[in-house]
Structure 1
Amino acid sequence: MEDRMTTSGTLLWMCLVLFVLLTRHTSHSIDVANLSVDPPANIRIIDPGHLGHLKIEWNIPSSLQNLTDCTVRYQLRFYSTYAERWRSVRTVRLSYEAQFDLEKPIQLRMLTLVKGACTNDTEVLGEEVELVHIPEHTGVAGSRIRDFHCVYLNKEYMDCMWKAGSVNPPGSKHYLYYWHRDMPETAECPEYIPPSEFGIGCRFPKQSLLEFSEFNICVNGSSTEGALMPAYFSLEVQNKVKPARVSDLQLLVENELVQVQWSPPAGKVPEQCLEYNLEGTTESTDGSKWQWTNVTEDTTIDFLWNGGSQTTCFRVRSKVNDYCADEGFWSDWSDPVCFPEITVEGRNYEPWNDLALTSILIIIIVAVLIFCLMLLMLSKMCVNRKEQKQAFTLYQEKVHKAFLSPVFH
């Protein structure tokens, strides 16, 4: 009898637990089903005049304003035309700032997320809404500038150059404006580069630049026919560095070992930010030639020389490495150095011979000029002495006549 009562009690207890669980699940399902998760309200795009750095604002949905036991978040997706992909962010704030290309449509997608006690800690997503904004620009058709590019030369100054549009109305004048996050407002180009065969440009001194941040640029203009179409660009300055040229490439030869060495280029680019491209060109006496390159972060590379009749010439250039920038420009090549000496018509030719011969020729020419000048001066001195002698002889004759003339009268 006791066993039956115990079994019945156990069954009753299990039924009660199952009932509670089912009741909670049913209540949770009803809460989630009845919860209205509307999209953000009053989505708007605000342009503070920072040449593409825009602010997106929105309001909490009215259906969720009195919600106290859940957290409301927002998912914002926007299409980055510079990166050519969608980017996504989740935030509890009611605003977000991002970079956009003002020459292309601005595409936004937003939805609301709710999670907490009201959803039994299950995240509930609302419906996603889309907003497309097309910036309006006016100007003479075809007058937008072309071939815009910037180079940060040795981290000392940055030159940005461009060419006039395919349509260049009479009286066209171009203006450049820029902005970065440390500036309260946009500013005009600090120093325009006069028009030349390379185009029109602007020079930025180092103090006007900011690395690792969007550096926004707008080039517009005016003409007798009206405003020129604006062009917008966004770049990161550290990705436009072109180091100075390596100027001290040297070869050290010991027995069969040839060591190529150089020093980092002078300038403001840190040594640890540089990588090098060493190029070697080998030529045999039969005229055959082959070339190879080696990318390294060292400033010394060793090679074995087989003692043959081949001649190898080296040159090197540098660029900012991946640790300090995403991209950059190679510097100009250094002057080449060769080993062994280049042979010309069976004679050894060394680069310093040209300098020695040139110096000797200059010394000979200067000596000849000095000798000719001395001859000219001696000739003039002889002429002067002859003229003085003739004058003195005439003077003596006059004195002699003057002295003897009373005696004969």
Structure 2
Amino acid sequence: MEWPAWLCGLWALLLCAGGGGGGGAAPTATQPPVTNLSVSVENLCTIIWTWNPPEGASPNCSLWYFSHFGNKQDKKIAPETHRSKEVPLNERICLQVGSQCSTNESEKPSILVEKCISPPEGDPESAVTELQCIWHNLSYMKCSWLPGNKTGPDTNYTLYYWHSSLEKILRCENIYNEGQRIGCSFNLKDPSLEQGSIQIMVKDNAGKIRPSFNVVPLNSHVKPDPPDIKNLSFKNDGLYVEWKNPENFQSTCLLYEVEVNNSHIVSEIFPVEEIKCQSSEGRICLLFPSVLPDTLNTVRIRVKTNKYCYEDNNLWSNWSQAMSIGEKTSSTFYITILLIIPVIVAGAIIVLLLYLKRLKIIIFPPIPDPGKIFKEMFGDQNDDTLHWKKYDIYEKQTKEETDSVVLIENLK
């Protein structure tokens, strides 16, 4: 059955009227696309897209704009005719925008219009690599990087940074070398930034390498300073440790590791997530049981931020300066040991040299000749007999005595 033309037009008009305000049924007609979509960059890594409402849109339609990035992530439906994103500009980034008459995600928007921003110019192999930044003790930031694969050794780098508390982009002046890495540090003391981010760009002065960008969420790259141990003592058959937290941090925002090195046992590390006591001076204290006072105990502590105040990223502080308590072994003992050991070693060497030949015989005894043994047992003894006979004759000849002959004549 065919509907009259005027009835079809009335039905479409009622649907558009019902869809106004975003709460009713969606209109059947597809809205036209947005116009004049443009893109620009502010600060270092802030991309802003702006557009105009579609031409020829139904006057009874309350326009909403559906947008998402090229990878179909970060979908958003909003009435504003602009959208911004804080993102590193190292790759091509595209935004697709369409119009619709409601906030219903299942509604098919208009034809999507896309606008992209290209990556910076230059050879990607020349850009710095492994660019990372750490906020030290909420006081200063250290950023470091490795040179690009196609970069000369005489390249002079420059780091620029920006955050919401700055009116303009600033340049980092404190460039340093740390092994193979190159870095720069700058002051960053602003509690309001803990929930924000900082934009970083590294390039060279001559403009021969490709710039590299990074956006650092400040609540996920925080490294505290090591705590300061104030007191060690033995109480209630245990070791009492008292220390002071690094500045700018509350005790509820930190996790601790306490290393106790005992002279009689292997060192142990105790993870501490909950503070048992806190002194009136704002110091933290803990009691470790079963620590004997008749041994030398060396203690050191390190801390990191916890997930309740910051994102847990395992950025431990350095170990604190070690502090010891307990009975120390006399230094005379160590001096005596150091003197006795060389004497013992020298005596052992002399004895070894004197008895080296005997030791060689003991370790490597002579191996008997089986042929000689069998020859003596079953061999011909004529040669030996003849030898002894010759020896006897010769001995007899040498022992024969001679007497002088006296001639006596009978004289008549």
* Fold agreement, TM-score > 0.5: yes
CA distance 1:244–1:283, change in 2 (3 Å): closer
Matched, 1:63 2:56: yes
Q: Which of 116, 129, 139 lines up with 1:133 in the alignment?
A: 116
**RMSD value over aligned CA atoms?**
3.8
Mapping for residues 6-405 of structure 1, pairs under 5 Å: 34-48=28-42, 50-64=43-57, 66-68=58-60, 70-78=61-69, 86-115=73-102, 124-127=107-110, 129=112, 131=114, 133-140=116-123, 142-169=125-152, 171-189=154-172, 191-195=173-177, 197=179, 199-206=181-188, 211=193, 212-223=195-206, 227-265=208-246, 267=247, 269-272=248-251, 274-281=253-260, 285=264, 289=266, 291-298=268-275, 299-305=284-290, 307=292, 313-327=298-312, 329-338=315-324, 340-341=326-327, 343=329
Q: Name the % identity.
A: 21
Which 5+ residue runs of structure 2 have no aligned equivalent? Answer: 1-9, 18-25, 276-283, 335-412
Shift of 1:53: 0.1
Please say which structure displays the higher CA radius of gyration: 2
Shift of 1:56: 0.8
Q: Distance in 1 between matches of 2:83 and 2:105?
A: 26
Q: Distance in 2 between matches of 1:208 and 1:292?
A: 34
Q: Distance in 1 between matches of 2:124 and 2:73?
A: 30
Q: Distance in 2 between matches of 1:314 and 1:163?
A: 36
Shift of 1:158: 1.8
CA distance 1:274–1:79, change in 2 (3 Å): farther
CA distance 1:335–1:175, change in 2 (3 Å): closer
CA distance 1:335–1:306, change in 2 (3 Å): closer
Aligned residue for 1:63, secondary structure, equals: coil
CA distance 1:35–1:100, change in 2 (3 Å): same
Aligned 8 A contact 1:278 1:314 in 2: no
The TM-score with structure 2 as length reference comes to 0.62
Alignment length, in residue pairs? 307
* 2:231 counterpart letter in structure 1: Q
Per-residue CA shift, 1:32-62, capped at 9, x if unaligned? Answer: 66533234333221223x2220111112111
Q: Distance in 2 between matches of 1:209 and 1:176?
A: 23
* 2:175 counterpart letter in structure 1: I
Aligned 8 A contact 1:101 1:232 in 2: yes
Aligned 8 A contact 2:138 2:189 in 1: no
Per-residue CA shift, 1:155-193, capped at 9, x if unaligned? Answer: 22222222322222364221222222344442322x232
CA distance 1:272–1:255, change in 2 (3 Å): closer
CA distance 1:295–1:86, change in 2 (3 Å): farther
Which 5+ residue runs of structure 1 have no aligned equivalent? Answer: 1-23, 349-409
